[in-house]
């Protein structure tokens, strides 16, 4: 079902980061659903989490642990989100960290915990804990692809990629994996993303690189406007590549690493969108000539969230009236509709507030029936711009979300 | 398809308001698509229009005419929205008013014009103008139901109702009709609503009654978050009932009339929701215990617009985690998730930020599989409240909106 997306054939190992995968049977049967990640001593870890006020217990616990210790282990389960369970959920998350700590002889606050799946169902901590030794026994640097498969929920393909660059005569590897197919929108999403690198980099530079990369990637895509209770994106740097430590954010090393992490995050974000629930077509919305980036973003997201635009995209129908109507309700003050220009790829469909004179339905349809469509909106009131990416609303989106729990 | 909704068997005539209906063939063939409404001399008219910055030409022209003259005629077509056509659309709207003025020997600015249908297709003014004499010849006070049928687009049933009350020993009649099934949300919607009364009432009181009634009805429902370029709600009072003029907004007459208009608008709004595109189930969202009405509304609309909540409603699935996640992203400052309580009708599903202890899946499913579900959200932080009504997202919503133009 994914739009022009295949699972990666191979993901490169990252020195100092080992992954162990097993079946815990928490919800899914006959498939892997548990991942343990072991970080070599000295690994720097940066993370961002959902901004939804309703955070799942693992998010609350992981945030606390990150404040008090440097992580040695990550434990991730799919099938149950451990969200909406009140004190019982907090206990499940803490017990999970405690069990990893006992197994690996570390402190519980050196363990981060992540869950994805159904909200509000009792969490089978006992099954997770019982499976931990098998995950530990499986730990290996080569296991990224296997882990990317185990964290999937409604995803149809495993998503990940690797990049390498040279620094100080050493090869630095970056490997990332992500899961997420619905509930995707800014402030990240039902998304778990893990990016590992063996770069030697200090914590401040790493945090800056992650926060900038997330804003340019995961925060620019939306499937349905819903954010999740469990979103997390973690960047782990083991320091095992042999380069001298990157501690200056404007150094060549920082820029090389940042550019690579940006590319990896953007490709992971786009992969998520291509595998979005029911997606058959993608739309990139470029809003230009706004007074500031905020109003450009608002226009972009209003178009991206319009069910009428999304169903027209599904139909391959160049229904630009729906795009214009969405722009009109985006809450931009003193918007001059007559100044607006809209392009579908290179076809001008709207100018001076109406259908462009040169426009033909055939030209519009040719573009709209592609797999990926770019809509450029020119507001004609400034120099700011913003880009938002989304997908269509199809029968399958309804089917997947109406039947998810059945 | 409409949820528990049938077309009215009869709509009462309103003295002083005549309606004429005919086939203009603007887009639809073999059905009526043109309505002319004639208002007796002295009729007071109040109107509210879309707040979308992208207004259709008829909205711009009607607003201008209302400022300069008292309306004598309304002309309404279905099939083409006359929106997004730039100067050509303005010309079409003005020519339509001009044609009515010539036919009826009045000024063009005594004519209001309304269009609903596809955006951005050339408008066949000539067909409309050619059909005007037939509409005029058909003018009669008994034609409300016939008119309610002619203004439909994706509606599946004609929508309208009548009420009467006694004032000053006279019977006052209120009859309303509405069309609209998608693009429905606050700031009204792709909605054309016409309410006629023979009450004798002055313009100030009438304007106050309309604005209050719209806020309590049409502005509280949402189908898909999209607003239209053409929305309008018009209240016409012919003054022919024989009551003494209502000029005091706190008089018995004003209160009787306002209460009746409120009820009529609320029933028309609910009828629109029941006939919403693809709707199979309705949800009333009552948000209580907020700090102010604004945050309650925001929570209500965030739930109402969540595609995940709406697909769960379609499935009859009490997936309260999605409701809680929507509350969490509604942008309420310092929201304490632990204080939140959620009820499905009389079944408590969430308390203390998690699944209520007394909750059983069976009890939740019993409620969610009803035609109409009430979700009560208690925020536990104040005394304000707000109510929002919406419907589910079904396969048919996608089908209708993907195929509308084909």
CATH code of domain A17-274:
3.60.70.12
The answer to whether A17-274 and A282-403 have equal CATH topology is no
Q: Which residue of B has its CA nearest to A85?
A: B354
B224 touches chain A (CB under 8 A): yes
Q: Is the pLDDT of residue B184 over 60?
A: no
pLDDT computed for residue A160 by the predictor: 95
pLDDT computed for residue B406 by the predictor: 39
Contacts A187 to B, Cβ<8 Å: 329
Mean pLDDT of B24-29: 94
Contacts A81 to B, Cβ<8 Å: 321
- Least confident residue range of A18-32, A123-137, A204-218, A310-324: A310-324
DSSP collapsed to 3 states, chain B:
CCCCCCCCCCCCCCCCEEEEEECCCCCCCCCCCEEEEEECCCCEEEEEECCCCCCCHHHHHHHHHHHHCCCCEEEEEEEECCCCEHHHHHHHHHHHHHHHHHHHCCCHHHEEEEEEEECCCCCCHHHHHHHHHHHHHCCECCCHHHHHHHCCCCCCCCEEEEEEEEECCEEEEEEEEEECCCCCCCCCCCCEEEEEECCCECHHHHHHHHHHHHHHCHHHEECCCCCCCCCEEEEEECCCCCCCCECCCCCHHHHHHHHHHHHHHHHHHHHHHHCCCCCCCEEEEEEEEECCHHHHHHHHHHHHHCHHHHHHHHHCCCCHHHHHHHHHCCCCCCCCHHHCEEEECCEEEEECCEECCCCCHHHHHHHHCCCEEEEEEECCCCCEEEEEEEECCCHHHHHHHHHCCC
Q: How far apart are CA A334 and CA A276, in angstroms?
A: 35
Q: How far is B392 from chain A (nearest CA, A)?
A: 10
Which amino acids of B are annotated catalytic?
Answer: 190
Mean pLDDT of A289-311: 93
Q: Is the pLDDT of residue A218 over 90?
A: no
pLDDT computed for residue B227 by the predictor: 61
A380 touches chain B (CB under 8 A): no
Partner-chain residue, chosen from B329, B394, B398, that has the shortest CB–CB distance to A311: B398
Partner-chain residue, chosen from B89, B118, B325, that has the shortest CB–CB distance to A226: B325
- Least confident residue range of A85-94, A137-146, B101-110: A85-94
Model confidence at B1, pLDDT cuts 50, 70, 90, reads low
Q: Is the pLDDT of residue B226 over 80?
A: no
Three-class DSSP category at A164? strand
Q: Residues of A numbered 290-329 whose beta carbons fall under 8 angstroms of chain B's beta carbons: which are they?
A: 305-308, 311-312, 314-315, 317, 319-322, 324-329
Are A321 and B355 within 8 A, CB to CB?
A: no
Q: Which residue of A has its CA nearest to B185?
A: A329
Contacts B229 to A, Cβ<8 Å: 321, 324-325, 328
Are A320 and B350 within 8 A, CB to CB?
A: no
Q: Which residue of A has its CA nearest to B338?
A: A86
Mean pLDDT of A224-235: 76
Paired tokens of A106? 């570390």
Q: How far is B351 from chain A (nearest CA, A)?
A: 9
**Beta strand A192-197 pairing with A232-237:** parallel
Contacts B224 to A, Cβ<8 Å: 306-308
Q: Is the pTM of this model over 0.90?
A: no
CATH code of domain A282-403:
3.10.20.340
Calculate the average pLDDT of chain A. Answer: 90
Partner-chain residue, chosen from B83, B88, B324, that has the shortest CB–CB distance to A84: B324
pLDDT computed for residue B329 by the predictor: 86
A393 touches chain B (CB under 8 A): yes
Mean pLDDT of A32-42: 97
Query: Cβ contacts of residue B13 below 8 Å, gap of 6+?
Result: B140, B141, B142, B144, B173, B175
Which amino acids of A are annotated catalytic?
Answer: 190
Partner-chain residue, chosen from B86, B118, B226, that has the shortest CB–CB distance to A354: B86
Q: How many CA atoms lie within 13 A of B65 on its CB side?
A: 30
Q: How far is A381 from chain B (nearest CA, A)?
A: 15
B137 touches chain A (CB under 8 A): no
What is the tens place of the pLDDT at every residue in B340-350? Answer: 999 999 999 99
Paired tokens of A80? 């149950």
Domains of chain A, residue spans = 17-274, 282-403
A244 touches chain B (CB under 8 A): no
pLDDT computed for residue A319 by the predictor: 84
Total beta-carbon pairs less than 8 A apart between chain A and chain B: 209
Q: Is the pLDDT of residue B46 over 80?
A: yes
ipTM field: 0.74
B250 touches chain A (CB under 8 A): no
What is the tens place of the pLDDT at every residue in B128-162? Answer: 999 999 999 999 999 999 999 999 988 889 999 99
Are A81 and B321 within 8 A, CB to CB?
A: yes
Partner-chain residue, chosen from B86, B354, B397, that has the shortest CB–CB distance to A84: B354
pLDDT computed for residue A227 by the predictor: 61
What percentage of chain A carries pLDDT values higher than 90?
Answer: 69
Q: Residues of B numbered 108-127 whose beta carbons fall under 8 angstroms of chain A's beta carbons: which are they?
A: 118-120
């Amino acid at each position: 079902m994914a739009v022009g997306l295949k699972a990666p054939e191979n993901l490169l190992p990252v020195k100092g980061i080992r992954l162990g995968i097993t079946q815990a049977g928490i919800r899914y049967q006959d498939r892997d659903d548990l991942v343990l990640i072991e970080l070599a001593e000295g690994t720097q870890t940066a993370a961002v989490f959902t901004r939804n006020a309703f955070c799942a217990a693992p998010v609350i616990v992981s945030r606390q642990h990150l404040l008090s210790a440097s992580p040695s282990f990550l434990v991730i389960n799919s099938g149950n989100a451990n969200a909406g369970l009140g004190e019982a959920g907090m206990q499940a998350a803490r017990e999970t960290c405690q069990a990893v700590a006992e197994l690996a002889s570390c402190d519980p606050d050196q363990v981060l915990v992540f869950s994805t799946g159904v909200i509000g169902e009792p969490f089978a901590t006992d099954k997770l804990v019982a499976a931990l030794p098998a995950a530990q026994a499986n730990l290996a640097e080569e296991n990224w692809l296997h882990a990317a498969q185990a964290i999937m929920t409604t995803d149809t393909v495993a998503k990940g990629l690797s990049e390498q660059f040279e620094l100080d005569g050493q090869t630095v590897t970056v490997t990332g994996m992500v899961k997420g197919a619905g509930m995707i929108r800014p402030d990240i999403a039902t998304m778990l993303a893990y990016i590992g690198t063996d770069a030697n980099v200090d914590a401040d530079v790493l945090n800056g690189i992650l926060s900038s990369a997330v804003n340019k990637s995961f925060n620019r895509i939306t499937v349905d406007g819903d954010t999740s209770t469990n979103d997390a994106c973690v960047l782990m740097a083991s320091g095992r590549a042999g380069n001298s430590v990157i501690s200056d954010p404007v150094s060549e090393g920082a820029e090389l690493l940042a550019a690579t992490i940006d590319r990896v995050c953007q490709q992971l974000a786009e992969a998520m969108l291509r595998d979005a629930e029911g997606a058959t077509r993608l739309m990139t919305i470029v809003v230009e000539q706004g007074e500031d980036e905020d109003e450009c973003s608002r226009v972009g997201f209003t178009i991206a969230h319009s069910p009428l635009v999304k169903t027209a995209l599904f139909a391959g129908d160049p229904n630009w009236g729906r795009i214009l109507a969405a722009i009109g309700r985006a809450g931009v003050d003193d918007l001059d509709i007559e100044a607006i220009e809209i392009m579908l790829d290179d076809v001008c469909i709207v100018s001076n507030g109406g259908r462009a004179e040169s426009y033909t339905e055939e030209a519009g349809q040719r573009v709209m029936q592609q797999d990926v469509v770019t809509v450029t909106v020119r507001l004609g009131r400034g120099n700011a711009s913003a880009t938002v990416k989304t997908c269509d609303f199809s029968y399958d989106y309804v089917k997947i979300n109406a039947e998810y729990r059945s």
